Amino acid sequence: MSDGWKRVLPDELEHNEEKPGRRWQLSPELGIDAFNLNVAVLDPGERLSQNHFHYHPNQAELVYVASGRCRVEVADDGFVAEPDTVVRFDAGPDGVHLVHNPFEEPCRVVAVGWPPDGRYPVERVATLEELKAERE
């Protein structure tokens, strides 16, 4: 970091190959310890979490849709999130969610989770396929 700031261009960094979509975990790159900051691009058919429909017992999350559209599944409902939509999920079962892209264009999202050490454990409730079948 120089002069009190640091510039990061996610597309110039390596993304996390272990996660669905193209995801850049930026907190370490920026020296942030207070929360987990991620930017992700979800191509058609991809979801944000490898844990499908899930919640974190000890971590809240926020997702901002920067471009494109995605679908957000919550406890008993779901909706389309357009650009500039911000969604907050509580920690615990009330914050169960899944962000995925059923559309034809990529979707770019910013995801923030806090506290950072609350990322694990993760409780999977259902796979995307199970959730779709249940809601049809």
Cα–Cα distance measured from residue 131 to residue 104, given in angstroms and rounded to the nearest whole number: 21
Domain ranges, ordered by start, for the chain: 10-135
Mean pLDDT per 10-residue interval, the chain, length 136 residues? 83 84 92 95 95 96 98 96 98 97 98 94 95 90
Q: What is the pLDDT of residue 3?
A: 80
Q: What is the pLDDT of residue 21?
A: 86
Cα–Cα distance measured from residue 135 to residue 14, given in angstroms and rounded to the nearest whole number: 36
Q: What is the pLDDT of residue 2?
A: 62
- In CATH, what is the architecture of 10-135? Sandwich (2.60)
pTM: 0.92
